[in-house]
Amino acid sequence: MPTGKYMSNFKTIGRYKIEEKIGEGSYGLVFRGQDPLLQRDVAIKVAKINTNSPEETQELAKAFYNEAQIAGNFTHTNIVTVFDVGRDNGMDYLVMELVPGRPLDDYFSDTGIESVEECIDIIHKCCVALDFVHFHGIIHRDIKPGNIIYNRPQGLVKLTDFGISHYLESKDLVTNAGTLAYMAPEHFLEARDITILTDIFALGCTMYKMLTGKRPFDGNSKTLVNQILYEAPTPLWGLRPDIPDDICEIVEKAMAKQDADRYQSALEFAADLIMAHNKIELEKTQSRKSVSWPPELQYYTNFRQNDWFRYFSPDQIQQLLQIGSVKIVPDGYAIITEGEVSQEFFLLIEGQVMVMKKGVNISLLESGACFGDTSLLGETTQRTASVKAIGSVTLWIIDSNKIESLSAENRASLFKTLLGVSMERLEELTGDVATFIEGSDLQI
């Protein structure tokens, strides 16, 4: 086994071929490699062997296995996939998806990332990744620019390094783990717990660094802890007057020292980013062409916060958004006509619609309502009522023919929801007590 600092004659590890070094951290090296069995390029992380102490090497190996156990179960657009972990000739290694990008901090100048819109896009995608991670009961614990991989031409954002991540219910926590400049106040106060809000604080610090090129808290260890606990960072507008007020408020809320003042979820953080993005895009249309986000980003929070989709996981919702389409219709537009045959299901993202039967208004639906759900059963259905737009309306539409392209888990969530809706309607129509027990039998 080689002993040089960069292992220049290091050709294989396990079954993987080593091609070239592509990254380096304080304790580890990352190589581009090749999996000859599955015929795919991979990234391989190993420990430095001359600069690490035996204790540091042991801790890094522990982190590799922890990351493999946690992130190895994740498949998500905005999270680096872990393929394998192992030991070869006394050296531990972690095998990951090879992402065509660089750590986010490689894109900073002394004043941060120039475009506020670009920053919003990156942080929003990180929020989507954290929503997925937190949904599965995991705290990342080390959110920072160096653990976010970014490819600017492709707009690709990937969260990585789950080495010190843990499950929410874990009791044996190391409270001082993480990167000091991005650690939340609760790390240093015994009376407070490490929760998902800890990740939100770190992401707020990351957004501050992206916009200014400076960490919100800086100095030696003692100074840093004091700043994190008791001092407010220099206001964003004092460093960059061009940043809109609502962006300053978003960063300030994400970095709030008290849990109650901070965003209570990554989803809540994402929702405010979308509003800020939409406001900027609206202003841009006055002078130049506006560039919209794809539906899986623009409307992700609408779906996640909608009770109709309560049985869907975050990644399932992203898949739904990818196979559907968004349509904006004008006032008076006939979305559904009574008696017509159709296979479309609708989610009312924005606006109001009137439901009519035989020309009589019977119901007013607001943003968040779903209709046309029987078409999701995969059969062409005859509409029993008409639906008309009141003012401008934004709809998400899916054709039932596309249901087969969903994953088996996604289809199961869909039919579980439809069954629940059917039981609710049965109760309304017959007066019977019908309770849908999640994941269990039906009691009527």
HSE value, Cβ hemisphere, 13 Å, CA-based, for 155: 9
pLDDT value, residue 390: 95
What CA–CA distance (Å, rounded) separates 255 from 234? 12
In angstroms and rounded to an integer, the radius of gyration of the C-alpha atoms of the chain is: 25
Within 13 Å, how many C-alpha atoms sit on residue 208's CB side? 30
Q: Which residues of 321-359 are buried (b: 16+ CB within 10 A; e: fewer)?
A: beebebeebeeebebbebeeebbbbbbbbebbbbbbeee
CATH number among 3.40.50.12140, 1.10.510.10, 3.20.20.220, 3.30.1490.190, domain 102-293: 1.10.510.10
Q: What class does CATH assign to 12-97?
A: alpha beta
What is the spatial distance between Cα 89 and Cα 45, in angstroms, rounded to a whole number? 15
Per the CB < 8 A criterion, the answer to whether 91 and 1 are in contact is yes
d(C-alpha 63, C-alpha 59), whole Å: 6
Residue with tokens 């942080």: 123
pLDDT of residue 172: 56
Do 94 and 193 touch, CB atoms closer than 8 A? no
> What's the pLDDT score for residue 281?
80
What's the pLDDT score for residue 323?
85
CB-based contact 130:203 (threshold 8 Å): yes
Geometric angle at alpha carbon 244, from 239 and 249, rounded to 5°: 85
Task: Report which DSSP code applies to 152.
Answer: T
Identity of the amino acid at 294: P
Q: Is the distance from CB of 93 to CB of 87 less than 8 angstroms?
A: yes
Chain centroid to CA 430:
42
- Domain spans of the chain? 12-97, 102-293, 311-443
259 counts as catalytic: no
Q: How many CB atoms lie within 10 A of CB 270?
A: 23
User: Is the Cβ–Cβ distance between 349 and 396 less than 8 Å?
Assistant: yes
Q: What is the pLDDT of residue 3?
A: 41
pLDDT of residue 380: 65
Closest CA to 62 of 188, 195, 166, 214: 166
Q: How far is CA 141 from CA 230, 286, 335, 392, in A?
A: 21, 42, 46, 43
Fold that domain 311-443 belongs to in CATH: Jelly Rolls (2.60.120)
From 35, 92, 142, 161, active-site residue:
142
| DSSP result, 257-283 | SSGGGS-SSHHHHHHHHHHHHHHHHHH
β-sheet bridge partners, residue 381: 342
Q: Could you list the pLDDT tens digit for every one of the 444 residues in the chain?
A: 444 444 555 789 999 999 999 888 767 889 999 999 999 999 999 887 767 677 777 888 888 888 898 888 888 999 999 999 998 988 889 999 999 999 998 888 877 888 899 999 999 999 999 999 999 999 999 999 999 999 998 999 999 999 888 888 776 555 567 889 999 999 999 888 889 999 999 999 999 999 999 999 998 888 999 999 999 999 999 999 999 999 999 999 999 999 999 999 999 999 999 999 988 887 776 544 445 666 667 788 888 888 888 888 898 888 888 888 888 899 999 999 998 888 888 989 889 999 999 889 988 999 888 888 777 765 667 888 999 999 999 898 988 888 888 888 888 888 888 787 777 767 766 654 444 445 544 433
CB atoms within 10 A of CB 411: 16
Residue 151 tokens read as: 């490819």
